[in-house]
Structure 1
Amino acid sequence: MPLYAYSCDSCGHGFETLVRSDDVPQCPACGGADLTRQLSVIAKPASGGGAMAEAPCASMDGPGGCGAGCPAFSDCG
């Protein structure tokens, strides 16, 4: 079961849920099914060990980040 992030078009609530292929997810706040699936945030290993950390440029210059405007452009890979 994949984990997906959604935003409810009815109430604006954001949430994550596990979704089976035959399931239709519903908003836990209002019960609505008018949802928009969100892009996942990419994580990379932290520099200090095995912990995961958000990529420093995940939201820079469009999907996938690491564009010329990214402050950590040289660290991305």
Structure 2
Amino acid sequence: MAEEVTVTNGPIQRNKLDVATELTKLYYAEYDIDDVEELQQTFAKMYAIAAYLESRSAIDLQELVPYEILKKVGR
């Protein structure tokens, strides 16, 4: 008799490697890659940004959001 497997969807969690990869993809969707070294440098910058932001608190990150957006979301 076959067993039934149920899967529940949970929140998707991304680590800094995932974030850096996505940001690099977004960047190069707009700009051309000139060479491998440029790609490596861009990815390293995106990874550094993700690592830095991961270490900050939500209050610290609010300072990066424009006032107009905070006003709209009621913060």
Q: Which structure: larger Rg? A: 2
Q: TM-score, normalised by structure 2?
A: 0.22
Q: TM-score, normalised by structure 1?
A: 0.21
Whose RCO is larger (CA < 8 A, sep 6+)?
2
Structure number with higher strand proportion: 1
